[in-house]
Chain A
Amino acid sequence: EPEVTQTPSHQVTQMGQEVILRCVPISNHLYFYWYRQILGQKVEFLVSFYNNEISEKSEIFDDQFSVERPDGSNFTLKIRSTKLEDSAMYFCASSDQGRLGYEQYFGPGTRLTVT
């Protein structure tokens, strides 16, 4: 069964450094998403991406964040200058928008620790 994959599984970085989190969505899916979950809190929507552009973003997704689909398979989330409060589990998801009421399929997550 096709799966969303994410790398790395765990990333430790120092405050102020740039990080790139990588995702490979399911191959025939058209919509891509990033969510995050701070420890003990809800899973929160960050951004959705379709047709090589952002289709929606939350108030969390400020200028420090960017997304890119650099080739036909990868989908990346970049945080330019990490802060302590960026420490969280980051989930990538993808969906087939062709079906009404589509479900989003999630990857296993990248745990980001900012020190």
Chain B
Amino acid sequence: AQSVAQPEDQVNVAEGNPLTVKCTYSVSGNPYLFWYVQYPNRGLQFLLKYITGDNLVKGSYGFEAEFNKSQTSFHLKKPSALVSDSALYFCAVRDPADGNNRLAFGKGNQVVVIP
């Protein structure tokens, strides 16, 4: 069964500094990987995904993520954080070899961008 680990509970970063949110995954086959963001009182908003191809994927709001198969990681990055990036970030994985549609989520990381 697929699973995701987000090892940090909270990530604090100064505005303008690079932001990294870590994610590692476990699947039996090749993964489909996703990042979602949740702002207060809002649903999960899709940021970006990796399916195949270039290991560096770009998404909404200037975010990008790098798929690293050898390290089974899919860390989310932003070169220069904004205060408005403060939110809860979720990594999720789907294993297409499972033949099912479910997403397995990590526990989420609270990102706090300090002005």
Contact = CB atoms under 8 A, between A and B. Distances in A.
Contacts of A101: 32, 49, 51-52
Given A41-B107, A42-B106, A55 B43 contact: no
A91 B102 contact: no
A90 to B, nearest CB: 11
Interface residues of A, number: 27
Interface stretch (A13-21, A63-71, A77-85, A103-111): A103-111
B100 A56 contact: yes
Contacts, number: 55
Interface in A34-93: 35, 41-45, 48, 55-56, 58, 91, 93
Interface string B40-81: 011111100101100000000000000000000000000000
Contact of B103 (A6, A104, A108, A109): A104
Contacts of A31: 101
B105 A4 contact: no
Interface of B: 32, 34, 36, 41-46, 49, 51-52, 90, 92, 100-108
Interface of A: 4, 6, 31, 33, 35, 41-45, 48, 55-56, 58, 91, 93, 95, 97, 100-101, 103-109
20 contacts: A4-B43, A6-B43, A33-B101, A33-B102, A41-B107, A42-B108, A43-B92, A45-B103, A56-B100, A93-B44, A97-B101, A103-B46, A103-B49, A104-B46, A104-B103, A105-B46, A106-B36, A106-B45, A106-B46, A108-B42
